[in-house]
Amino acid sequence: MAFTNNYSTSFRWWDWAFGTDTKYREYRKKVKAAKAAMKNATQEERDAFERKLIDEVEKDGIKAEAEAEARGFTKTKIQ
């Protein structure tokens, strides 16, 4: 899960209050739906789905990091 548009992991309640945790909420919905769909699945099927979900989350994080770097949020300016 990409932690973009969030205040901090220490202030998750601010994210909830201001609605800046949309990516987290989407992720939780996806996990909940997956658990319901995989209720009667084998352990191998659950493991495969978990690996797929983790790969998607990592790709989202890499994309968000690249977007932040492109906007200059992670670069330190020295004067």
Section 52-63 average pLDDT: 88
Measured distance between the N- and C-terminal CA atoms of the chain, rounded to whole angstroms: 34
Residue 2: Cβ within 10 Å count: 19
Asked if 8 and 38 touch (Cβ cutoff 8 Å), the reply is no
The per-residue pLDDT for range 1-15, each reduced to its tens digit, is 445 555 556 677 777
Q: Which pLDDT belongs to residue 4?
A: 54
The per-residue pLDDT for range 15-40, each reduced to its tens digit, is 778 877 788 888 889 888 888 888 88
